[in-house]
Amino acid sequence: MTKKLIAFLVLTLFGILLMSTVQAEHGEWEDYDACEDADYVFEGSLKVVGENCHDSNQISDSAVVNVDGGIYEVHIKSLRGNKEYPNQCQTNEAFYFNINGQNSFVSEDDSDPCTITERWEVLGDFEFNDGTNNIIMNTASECPPDTHANSVEAVKMCLYKVDVPVVPEFGLIIGTLTILSAVGIFFFVRRE
């Protein structure tokens, strides 16, 4: 009887754990020029060039930010091309971010290398520590064969606190089924 009671408790706890699983949705491309209602706004300059594409070979740049711990949706404003030399086409401007060891997707270069753009993108949801957090911008481009001038700069980062649902639908369904199974086993065992 003791083994059966332990099995019931284990299945019940497993169901409760599944019910409390957290989920966060990732955002997509955004087209705006402000960080309306952002919990944190950081302005500055992180710059990278494609690997072996420029004399500086600055393939990563970093910053440290201090925030309250939690999951935040990260929005980045990047500048591509060169306003000072509008006739200079620039390729190899893809990049990604690493936030506390978590990589974002790769922000791809413009399809037209001669385009000069200011682009807002949602890089995804990231877990931030309470206090110090490391932000690293990395190149996702490499030369040769292409050795054109290139550089990309992130000039603004906005953080939006993500409200993580305590009981997402999928976890609720699996958790409920697990608990019902445990209850069924308990009653089946009691009959013996």
3-state SS track over 41-85 = EEEEEEEECCECCCCCCCCEEEEEEEECCEEEEEEEEEEECCCCC
Question: What is the pLDDT at residue 27?
Answer: 33
Question: What is the pLDDT at residue 15?
Answer: 47
How big is the chain, counted in residues? 192
The most confident of 17-26, 41-50, 96-105, by mean pLDDT: 96-105
As a whole number, mean pLDDT of residues 96-110 equals 90
What is the rounded distance in angstroms from the CA atom of residue 57 to the CA atom of residue 48?
Answer: 8
**By mean pLDDT, which of 36-45, 92-101, 138-147, 182-191 is the weakest?**
182-191
Sign, CA dihedral 111-109-45-128, equals positive
Q: Residue 116 burial (CB < 10 Å; 0-12/13-18/19+)?
A: middle
Question: What is the pLDDT at residue 150?
Answer: 76
Write the DSSP assignment of 19-45 as a string of letters.
HT---------B--SS-TT-SEEEEEE
pLDDT at 109 over 80: no
For residues 115 and 11, the model is more confident at: 115
For residues 113 and 52, the model is more confident at: 52
pLDDT at 7 over 60: no
In terms of Cα–Cα distance, which of 12, 10, 3, 45 is closest to 183? 12
As a whole number, mean pLDDT of residues 169-190 equals 62
In terms of Cα–Cα distance, which of 19, 22, 135 is closest to 75? 135
Question: What is the pLDDT at residue 184?
Answer: 60
pLDDT at 160 over 80: yes
pLDDT digits (tens, 9 = 90+) for 35-67: 888 999 999 899 988 788 777 888 899 999 999
Tokens of 110: 């413009």
Instruction: Provide, rounded to the nearest whole percent, the portion of the chain with pLDDT above 90.
Output: 32
Q: Which strands form 60-67's sheet, in the order they lie side by side?
A: 60-67, 131-139, 95-99, 102-103
Do 128 and 100 form a contact (C-beta atoms < 8 A)?
A: yes
What is the rounded distance in angstroms from the CA atom of residue 116 to the CA atom of residue 65?
Answer: 28
